[in-house]
Amino acid sequence: MSKVRSITISAAIFFLLLTGCGDIFELNLFDGVDNPDLPGASQLREMGDGALDYLSLSLESDDFMELLTADPEAAAAILGFLQEDYLSQSPTDEIRGTYQDAAILYAAIEMGTTAAAEVSDNILNLLNSGSEEPDPSALFPDNMTEVEFDAALEAMFSAADVYILLGNSLQDIDGDGVLDASANANMGEVVQRAAVAIYVQTVVQSIPGTEEEQKALFKEYIIGGGTDPVPENADIAGQMNTNSSLNGIFDAAGFSFDF
């Protein structure tokens, strides 16, 4: 894609994207459980802020994510709970940590229940494309159907919006010059998915037209063999480098980046 500039990421960030960081839960709540019930919004509210810990631990289970993928209504109920009870509020000091935890969970569910998670995992294909001007099509599986593409793109747009909220909520709490995220945050995973979601959203939004037209042209380019719809003067790298939210997320992870 001739309009998208090369991406330069330090060795430290490259390692971060490969490995992630933070503690990994080893307890799998759903292994060996036949057809477990997925929690509704009312059940989650009864847990108080413990609902966020419950969801975080549950999402470490592939079984739980598969159940959410197979039950869009249950996934929507959880997303609605996170949006209404946390993300609709202003991230004041009193709730900043839970706000950030909710944002991370929201984006994880959005991307994890569609092929957007696989797109995110393909970031190394973009970085290793061997081109000075990577093509975003390197992120998308070759055999992706239109239905899968549409769902993944919508999920990445929604996740990108939430990652921007997350980045805007970060502050240097301890005065060490580095932005601080919730102690529960796995910022290695957040960095990778936020970078891909915001990158794809930025590329699509650089295409002239309404949002519907932008997405249609991008889909035709990625999976339909259409012509590149991104204008010659689109400065994707400049937009990414000046995205304060994404810069904040990388800073909170202890790294910097340059697109």
- The answer as to whether 5 is a domain residue is no
In order of 146, 211, 253, the CA distances from 215 in angstroms are 12, 6, 31
- The answer as to whether 163 is a domain residue is yes
Split into its structural domains, the chain has a count of 1
- The answer as to whether 143 is a domain residue is yes
Distance of CA 253 to the CA centre of its chain: 15
- The answer as to whether 18 is a domain residue is yes
pTM, whole model, 2 decimals?
0.84
- The answer as to whether 4 is a domain residue is no
- The answer as to whether 6 is a domain residue is no
- The answer as to whether 167 is a domain residue is yes
Close Cβ partners of 50 (under 8 Å, ≥ 6 residues apart): none
120: its two tokens: 């995110």
- Structural domain span for residue 209: 11-252
- List, in sequence order, every residue forming a beta bridge with 171; answer none if it has no partner: 180
pLDDT per residue as tens, the chain (259 positions):
444 433 444 343 344 444 444 333 333 444 444 445 789 999 999 999 899 999 999 998 889 999 999 999 999 999 999 999 999 999 999 999 999 999 999 999 999 999 999 999 888 777 665 555 668 888 999 889 999 999 999 999 999 999 999 999 999 999 999 899 998 898 888 999 999 999 999 999 999 999 999 999 999 999 988 899 999 888 888 888 899 999 999 999 988 777 7
- The answer as to whether 3 is a domain residue is no
